[in-house]
Amino acid sequence: MKSFRSTAMLVVICLFGAVHAGDAPEIPGKETLLYRQKVKSELAKAVQAEAAGSQSVPGSKSIARAVLFSAAVPGTGQLYAGAYLKAGFFLLTEIAGWAVNIHYNNLGNDKDREFRQFADEKWSEYRYWSYINYRNSQLANPKIPVYPYREVKSPFNKTWFLIDENVFGPDVVDQLRQIENDFPHFTHILPRTKTQQYYEMIGKYPEQFGNAWEDADFNEFYSGFEKRVTPYNQTYTDMRNASNHFFDIAGYGSMALLINHVISAIDAGFSTRSYNRRLLQMTYRNQYYRGELVNMLGLAINL
C-alpha cells in the first residue's frame, strides 16, 4: 500500500502541535515524556476527527450517502462502507421481516375469509330479527305490534320462533330496528351491510346476537362473560381470534422492518466514518525544528 504525506497539512500540524522544549514544564525527564505523550494523543484525536469528516481525503466516502443507502435498503450503506458482515446481517434481517409480514398476512387473510364464510352459513339475520320479534312478544306491553311467528324445531332440536316468511321483509326489519336496543344487554345496532364491524359483533356479543346461530335456542340466554355460548359461536370466535393473531404477528414483522431501517441507517454512518478513519495513519517523532526540539505530528493517507 502506497502512502504520501500532505505537506500543507504537515506544516499546519507542526505549527499547531509543536511543543517548544521551553514551553514544557521544567520537570524531570520521565514526566516530560508523559506530558509530550498527552499532547500527542490530544492532537492526534483532533486531527483524525477533522480529517475523517473531510471529503478532500482521497478515497474517502460520503457518510450522508451511506445513511441514505441503508435508510432505503438496509445493508447497502454497509456495503458502500466495506462492512460486509454487517451488510449481510441487515439484508438478511430485511428479508426475514418481509417474509414474516407477507406469510402471516396471507394466513390472516385466509382465516378471515374462512370465518366470514362460516358466519354466512351458520348465523342468520332472519333468525336474529325473529328473535327480536319474539322478545317483543314476551313483554307485557309490546313496544311495537308483534309480527306473526311460528314455532320451529332446528336441526339441533332447538326451539326457534320465526316470523312468518310471507310477512318478513325489509319493512319489517326497519320496524324491528326501532326496538333493537330496548332489551337488557342489547347495546349494539346490527350494520345494514356485512362490514368488519358486522362480523365482529355477531361473535363478540352473544347476549344480543347469540340466539341467531344455527345451534342456538330462542329460550336460552347466552353470555360471553359467563362463557355460555353455542358451539358454533365459540368456533367462530376462535377463528376470528386466530385471524387477529396472524395479523398481529405480521405487524411485528412490519415493526422489525422499520427498526431495521433506522438502525441500519445509523450504523452505516458510523461504518463509513470508521472506513474514512482507516485511510489515515498518524506519525509522531521528536526532531529539531529551527534549532529547537519539537514534537512533530504527521498525517499519512493510505491509498
pLDDT surpassing 60 at residue 79: yes
For residue 296, give the H/E element and its range: strand 292-302
Give the mean pLDDT of 234-240.
96
Amino acid at residue number 79: L
**Rounded to 5°, angle at Cα 255 from 253 and 260:** 95
Q: Are 56 and 276 in contact (CB under 8 A)?
A: no
Q: Which residue has the higher pLDDT, 180 or 53?
A: 180
**pLDDT: is 289 or 84 the higher one?**
84
| Residue 229 burial by Cβ neighbours in a 10 Å radius (0-12, 13-18, 19+) | buried
Contact 168, 126 (CB under 8 A): yes
pLDDT at 171 over 50: yes
| Number of Cβ atoms within 10 Å of the Cβ of 196 | 10
Query: Quick one: pLDDT band at residue 227, thresholds 50, 70, 90?
Result: confident
Phi, psi of 144 (to 5 degrees): -135, 165
Rounded to whole angstroms, the Cα distance separating 214 from 204 reads 16
Model pLDDT for residues 272-303, shown as the tens digit of each residue: 999 988 876 655 566 666 666 666 655 555 55
For residue 233, what pLDDT is reported? 97
Q: Which of 225, 227, 226, 240 is nearest to 123 (CA)?
A: 240
Q: Tell me if 130 sits within 8 A of 149, measured CB to CB.
A: yes
**What is the rounded average pLDDT of the residues 93-121?**
97
pLDDT at 278: 84
Rounded Cα gap, residues 283 and 122, in angstroms:
83
pLDDT per position as a tens digit, 178-189: 999 999 889 999
Cα gap 58→277, rounded to integer Å:
12
Selected residue with higher pLDDT from 82 and 55:
82
Q: What is the mean pLDDT of the chain?
A: 84
- Give the mean pLDDT of 100-106: 97
End-to-end CA distance of the chain: 6
- Beta strand spans in 123-254 (E): 149-153, 159-163
The confidence score (pLDDT) of residue 213 equals: 98
Question: Are the C-beta atoms of 116 and 198 separated by less than 8 Å?
Answer: no
* pLDDT tens-place string over residues 4-48: 344 334 433 443 444 444 444 444 456 665 666 665 666 566 555
**From the CB of residue 126, how many other CB atoms can be counted at a distance below 10 Å?**
14
225 or 212: which leads in pLDDT: 212
| pLDDT at position 160 | 97
Burial-class residue 10 by CB neighbours within 10 Å (0-12, 13-18, 19+): middle
Q: What is the mean pLDDT of residues 119-133?
A: 97
State the pLDDT at residue 200: 96
Range from 99-103, 161-165, 282-286 carrying the lowest mean pLDDT: 282-286
Identify which of 291, 299, 298, 295 has the alpha carbon closest to the alpha carbon of residue 18.
295
Q: What is Dmax (Cα atoms) for the chain?
A: 120
